[in-house]
A and B are shown apart, each in its own frame.
Chain A
Amino acid sequence: MSGYVLEMHGITKDYYGNRVLNDVTLKVKPGEIHGLVGENGAGKSTLMNILFGMPVIHNTGGFQGKIRFRGAETVFDSPRQALESGIGMVHQEFMLIPGFTVAENIKLNREPLRDTLLAKLAGRRMKRLDWPKIVSDSKAALNMVGLGIDEMLPVAGLPVGYMQFVEIAREVDKQGVKLLVFDEPTALLTETESEQLLSSVRTIAASGVAVIFISHRLDEVLSICDSVTVMRDGEVVTTMSTSDQDTTIDRIAELMVGREVKRPDYPKRAKEPGDDDIVLTVEDLKVDMPGEEVHGVTLRVRRGEILGIGGLAGQGKIGISNGIMGVYPAQGRVAKDGIEIPLNDPGQAYKQKLAFLSEDRKNVGLILDRSIEYNISVVATLVKSMFQKTLGVGPVGIRVRDKKSAREFAAGMISELDIRCTGPGQLVRRLSGGNQQKVCIARALALDPEILLVSEPTRGIDVGAKQRILDLLVSLNREKGMTIILTSSELAELRMVCDRIAVIYGGRLVDMLSPDDSNARFGMAMSGRRAEVQ
């Protein structure tokens, strides 16, 4: 025995030629709480999917590397197999049946049974539930996680925090659990609930169960874990012990974010944007966008700047642009040059010369089964009556679509933005992601906007094309003086092109940073903490 309950060696995984994990090694001892941290897309979920033998892994060609669990080399073919071998998982989304009681949920699918006469004849399916045992086991499990509630309550009415504990109690109750994985268990909990959860995690670990603790809250990780593995871009940056003097939140944050960002030499402007010339004010904006709620953000956008909005997925950065543009229900006050833009009315923002590139390019950004020319011109026609001509006799006439001018404009855009296509008549569906994004940009340009809101412009676009899209945005900013609000999950991209970066956490603005600020400061802001200004 090596002393480790779980060893993952040299794990490498490709998705369609795209390497998402590269030579990852992770070792966990019994009774150890091992933290796993990294940005979105660093590879944490993929690593856990491999551990659990999720079908998504097998369906995409498996992986390379070795997994040793309890000393024996193992590859789990299905999550069920992993669970049966003694690996438990506490999910971020609760996997509980609302109509069942707490006890029933804890014992779900593993109910203790009692023999009956009928069972002797008809087999296992005719056995009775052993209720006294269900109740006593559940009680014990709930005590272990420190949740003193009636085990016969239905789950449906419980506070969100309690559901998390029920979920943990279920895992704890499983006999022979050797390793428990917590996937952001405190994401939905209040502070006191988090405290309680952390102490129950400690109790569980003390009983000899190994714990892998995935979290974005670095203070938690530091306080609870024995060692921490930091992942970045599909690789393990380092594994360190938390008892080490060097292991601080700043250090972890720096390692997490820490790729060298080379900021290309973009041309300087004649006058750099400043607080004396504000083009857009956003006050106490609240947006009800599912999964990306905004709980009150105030921003002052300088004329002519590229303002970045960053943060982890689900923290609300995406909601801001969608709220300003009226796509999702919003409250608050948004004004451009002092003129208020009514919220919840999508056409209004266009009238104030704002334009929006949605993060959901394929559903909101484009009509895939229509031509490039149609996609570029349709909104301009509807909003600003462009690309129209008058048909009629004498004084009687109606304004109709002018295909010729739309086609000319589209052809101009195709050459200006270098959209690779067979012509303005080609269907957008047949273009590559990068070229589709350019069509979106062309559509926005047709509106001749002063402020361009861009959400996740490089999502789903191959690496080379990413840079071209970013360069295009910068040149629009420099040459046309367009103010750009760029929302992106990729911090590196924001730091490359933005003048300032607003970091959003929990639906609120945590910090307004300069692209040259330290990795540590970015890392901390992304996990919701504002660094004290030295």
Chain B
Amino acid sequence: MSLDGDKQKEVDSGEPASRNGPGMMSRILNTVGLPRLTVGGFVVVLFVLGRIMGLPLTNLLTNSISRFGMNAVMVLAMVPGIQCGIGPNFGLPIGLLAGLIGMVSALELGFIGFEGLMLSMAIGAGLGALLGIGYGLFLNKVKGQEMMVGTYAGFAAVSLMCISWLMLPFKNPELIWVLGGKGLRMTISLKDTFGHALDKFWNFQIGGFVVPTGLLGVVFILAAAYKLFEMTKLGMAMDLAGQNERFARAAGVDCDRMRVVGTAISTALGAIGIIVYAQSYGFIQLYTAPLLMAFPAVASVLIGGATPSEASVSNAMVGALLFQSLLATTVPVAQTVVGGDISEIVRLIVSNGMVLYALTRGHGGEAANG
């Protein structure tokens, strides 16, 4: 957003000019940020390695882009959380559950294809916003510990839903266990419903590189809509509340309310995020699948240059692209170099490392900006 633009420019030009030699290096480091620099550098190295190994670059690129599209909305969900002052939304699984409920409800009602996807999003976002309001009110009672409390609130919600998935009276044979009876399946295939509905919407090829127009389009629309929201009075008040609570309060902003608004938006975006993810993946994964999904999203936005107290849409987009490219390129490259799949290990190292970084940076402006 524009504010972010100011900030980057300023960091760039504000350094004393006297520091010429080492100043250059630290200036680049300041502008780009260490996480973005290392992960970005690694991605470049992997692409070059892949090229040397003779791997088809178009394949790597296609994979990177489609994984970016799959995950970008969930990363975007981190932005309102950070802006409103609750920090990275570790309670994202609450939103993911809303999205899952949206999808299975739409399928149960018999909506397939594009209508099914749209209905899923409508139900998911609505439910996500409602849950987000409740979750936000809860977070207001544990100020300063949102990251830890959020993680466990997410865990608790996922576990609670495990029981619900078993108990809910769904009837659609595509959804319930193959042997019949009560309860939803572990994994629900979307092959005959809205699997890849977005990926295949207006997609086209350039050489071997497939552009998933629909997928990227949805990501772009949501990102643009959020940017617009940032410029409204509500968006500015929310951002101010997250920046400096005392300043905001003196300006007549109800900070607690703003935190609830931000949490609700974040949770609703999480719901839409998992739907976008599922249609691309081709399956709905229930039960414990959402348990750890907040961590890669948190890691992505931080890699993108956000801090636990300041984030922008571009942080989310850049971060999602870098992190997902890293994962997409490690698999084939590592397979040829090492002869095994180490992408899961890389994913865990990077995402847990970034989460650790977030926790050490602490909460709120003072620690992060010091």
The contact string, 1 if C-beta is below 8 Å from chain A, for chain B 225-243, is 0001001110011001001
Taking A347-B252, A374-B3, A381-B233 as contacts, is the C-beta distance between A367 and B244 under 8 angstroms? yes
Question: Does B251 sit within 8 A of A, measured CB to CB?
Answer: yes
> In the complex, which of the residues B2, B228, B240, B251 contacts A398, with contact meaning CB atoms closer than 8 Å?
B228
Taking A367-B244, A371-B6 as contacts, is the C-beta distance between A385 and B233 under 8 angstroms? yes
CB <8 Å contact, B243 and A400: no
The contact string, 1 if C-beta is below 8 Å from chain B, for chain A 314-332, is 0000000000011100000
CA distance A369 to B14 in the complex (A): 12
Question: Does A273 sit within 8 A of B, measured CB to CB?
Answer: no
Closest to B1 in A: A401
Residues of B1-57 at the interface with A, using a CB-CB cut-off of 8 Å, are 2-3, 6-7, 9-11, 13-14
Question: Does B205 sit within 8 A of A, measured CB to CB?
Answer: no
Residues of B140-182 at the interface with A, using a CB-CB cut-off of 8 Å, are none
Question: Does B191 sit within 8 A of A, measured CB to CB?
Answer: no
CB <8 Å contact, B236 and A381: yes
Interface of A (DSSP majority class): mixed
Question: Does A365 sit within 8 A of B, measured CB to CB?
Answer: yes
Residues of B106-132 at the interface with A, using a CB-CB cut-off of 8 Å, are none
CB <8 Å contact, B14 and A430: yes
CA distance A358 to B249 in the complex (A): 12
CB <8 Å contact, A400 and B14: no
Residues of B52-81 at the interface with A, using a CB-CB cut-off of 8 Å, are none
Task: Return chain B residues, CB-CB under 8 Å to A207.
Answer: none
Task: Return chain A residues, CB-CB under 8 Å to B251.
Answer: 346-347, 350, 378-379, 382-383
Residues of B290-328 at the interface with A, using a CB-CB cut-off of 8 Å, are 310
CA distance A383 to B243 in the complex (A): 17
Question: Does A480 sit within 8 A of B, measured CB to CB?
Answer: no
Taking A327-B249, A347-B251, A382-B236 as contacts, is the C-beta distance between A371 and B228 under 8 angstroms? no
Task: Return chain A residues, CB-CB under 8 Å to B228.
Answer: 391, 398, 400
CB <8 Å contact, A370 and B6: yes
> In the complex, which of the residues A356, A360, A382, A425 contacts B6, with contact meaning CB atoms closer than 8 Å?
A425
Question: Does A117 sit within 8 A of B, measured CB to CB?
Answer: no
CA distance A370 to B232 in the complex (A): 18
Task: Return chain A residues, CB-CB under 8 Å to B231.
Answer: 400-401
Task: Return chain A residues, CB-CB under 8 Å to B365.
Answer: 369
> In the complex, which of the residues A360, A370, A373, A388 contacts B243, with contact meaning CB atoms closer than 8 Å?
A370
CA distance A430 to B243 in the complex (A): 18
Question: Does A533 sit within 8 A of B, measured CB to CB?
Answer: no
Task: Return chain B residues, CB-CB under 8 Å to A346.
Answer: 249-252
The contact string, 1 if C-beta is below 8 Å from chain B, for chain A 38-55, is 000000000000000000
Question: Does B201 sit within 8 A of A, measured CB to CB?
Answer: no
Task: Return chain B residues, CB-CB under 8 Å to A399.
Answer: 232-233
Closest to A373 in B: B6
Task: Return chain B residues, CB-CB under 8 Å to A345.
Answer: 252
CB <8 Å contact, B244 and A403: no
Enumerate chain B interface residues (CB-CB to A < 8 A). 2-3, 6-7, 9-11, 13-14, 228, 231-233, 236-237, 240, 243-244, 246-247, 249-253, 310, 365, 369
Q: Across chains A and B, which 6 residue pairs bring their CB atoms closest together, nearest first?
A: A347-B252, A400-B231, A401-B231, A371-B6, A346-B252, A379-B251
CB<8 Å pairs between A and B, sample of 10: A360-B246, A363-B246, A364-B246, A366-B247, A382-B236, A383-B251, A399-B233, A401-B231, A401-B232, A427-B14
